[in-house]
Amino acid sequence: MSVKASAAVEKKPKADPAEIRRTLGLLFGPGPWRDFCVELRVPGTRMGTVAGYFSDPEELAKWAARLSGGFKNRRGERVRVGSVYVTLNPLDPALLARCVNRCEPYAKTTASDADVIARRWLGLDFDPARPSGVSSTDEEHEAALERARRAREWLRGVGWPEPVLADSGNGAHLLYRVDLPNTPEATGLVRRVVDAVAAFHSGDGVEVDRKVYNAARVWKLYGTMACKGDDLPERPHRLARLLEVPETLDVVPVEVLERTAAMAPQPGAGGLRGGGADVGFDVGAWLEEHGVEVHSVKGWNGGRLWVLRRCPWNPEHTNLSAFVFQDATGRVVAKCHHNSCSGKGWEELRDLLEPGWREREARPAAARAGKAAPRLPGRVAVPEGWDRGVAVVTASWELAREAYAAGKAVVVVSPGAGVPPGAPRVLRDAGAVEVVAATEEERFALSWDLYPLLAVVGHELRRGVEEGSTLGAPFQEDGELFTREEVSVRRDGRLAPGDPREVGKGELGGESQSPPGDDEWDSFAPPLPPEEVAELRRRLTADPFKARGC
């Protein structure tokens, strides 16, 4: 069912046809439009989405004025209209075949990003925070307009030309001319630009809409009414209108867009100078303690962003160009967007406001580094009072000393030398075994070499275990915990009988000793029954993962 062209329009609110025509001329130029078309869209009515496609700006203006503020259907029933929109960028003229120079209700298909010929406008929407479905108060409305003016000044400071400033009816708009193709790369660029503006100008009751980056975005048509909720004195319906239009609308250079897109802080961003991760560092308290004035604080990309009122390195930079950001890992970065402040970051900010911080933080680190690690009594070491919890297997003496100092039993394996005497007993008694190495490749190779031994003493090794993760606890066999006598396994898989060597015990302190060599393989576990030896040989020569059912 079509909306009748002669349908009556409610006297209040009403449209401004002259402002509608002025807006269409500004956005798309004079008609008729031969190389593109424009979609007029009214979503969320009781007759679904009302939409049509236009090559004639005069017809579009007439339909927009009729729909603005609500209309009557053929049965004389009033249909409420919240807002009237047009696509901001030109569309493929083939879409005219859907509904040419008129509107239809219950539109099943509207313009998609793929229908956009090119990007001609970049819009920024400043929306005051309020309950959904209602118009803004005068105070909220004015706050959004003021925020848009402040953002315009900020963008002007980083090289942007003058934009169109408009009243959306409830908030504020900035419209900038761009000349971009409709490509995924351009979409990503526009999205990052919008995110950057939002990072510095959202908050305190006004939010920059971060969803307006897509190419087929619809935009409030100035000259039509914004009618969210009922028209109340404290929350009135208002006419969307153009406020300031520069005589010349220059295109924003791509390099300026890219520079602005890079301004938004990102977690782990390599271009932002920052310190190391310190989850416990209270950035807010530090800024307050050192007298840094903060304009706004907000969550951003999983971290926290402090936008500063003025640049700490140059107080003349007062257009919200400086910020401090702490990401979810605790890493802190700082930056000012002015070229004169390039190269300055978090460490330089601390140098400026907290002289001597490097020396103060270096002293505890040096003390930690200079503290002698405990000397291991041998390649197998069990600390006094070990609770048979965790045993660490590693080829690194440094990692072994750290684990030993932390109260863990350790087994140091030398490449080519096999497993030292005493290791099977310790690994069998441990509640869990950790295989650690400097790299994932080393850890995996070590885990593979140790698999037969761990299988024998009762620890399950699974494919793809992460570095430092815990291997399975001892398994049960025939209802009993696995309690075989120690079995020492050489790297080449051969078994040898002998008496197990006692785990070394010694005093802490001093330099770490060199790992024993192959010549110290002089004692082994007692012999096993022939059938068990045969089973062990089968395990050692088979694929370890298949042998354990992994």
- 200, amino acid identity: F
Average pLDDT of adjacent 10-residue blocks, the chain of 550 residues? 42 82 97 95 94 98 96 90 97 97 95 96 96 95 96 93 97 98 95 92 90 96 96 95 97 95 65 47 83 84 84 83 82 81 84 81 57 65 84 84 85 70 81 79 72 60 37 35 33 36 34 38 46 57 40
The Cα–Cα gap between 3 and 336 comes to 54
Cβ–Cβ < 8 Å for 353, 292: yes
pLDDT score of 13: 58
The Cα–Cα gap between 102 and 40 comes to 9
H helix runs in 202-297, sequence order = 254-261, 283-289
DSSP string, 255-270: HHHHHHHTTS--TT-T
pLDDT score of 112: 94
Cβ–Cβ < 8 Å for 486, 527: no
CB-count exposure of residue 488 (10 Å: 0-12, 13-18, 19+): buried
Could you give the 3-state DSSP secondary structure of residue 3?
Answer: coil
pLDDT score of 11: 52
The Cα–Cα gap between 301 and 286 comes to 21
CB-count exposure of residue 395 (10 Å: 0-12, 13-18, 19+): buried
Cβ–Cβ < 8 Å for 244, 177: no
**Please, what are the domains in the chain?**
17-261 (3.90.920), 284-357 (no CATH), 380-547 (no CATH)
CA 141 and chain centroid, separation: 31
pLDDT score of 10: 44
Nearest to 256 by CA among 340, 159, 321, 176: 159
pLDDT score of 257: 96
pLDDT score of 377: 64
Q: Which pairing describes strands 390-394 and 432-435: parallel, antiparallel, or unpaired?
A: parallel
Cβ–Cβ < 8 Å for 136, 101: no
The Cα–Cα gap between 192 and 184 comes to 12
Nearest to 151 by CA among 119, 175, 115, 185: 175
193 CB contacts (<8 Å, ≥6 apart)?
A: 122, 213, 257, 260, 261
pTM above 0.95, yes or no: no
Tokens of 253: 């250079």
Nearest to 444 by CA among 421, 429, 465: 465
DSSP string, 187-207: HHHHHHHHHHHHHHH-BTTEE
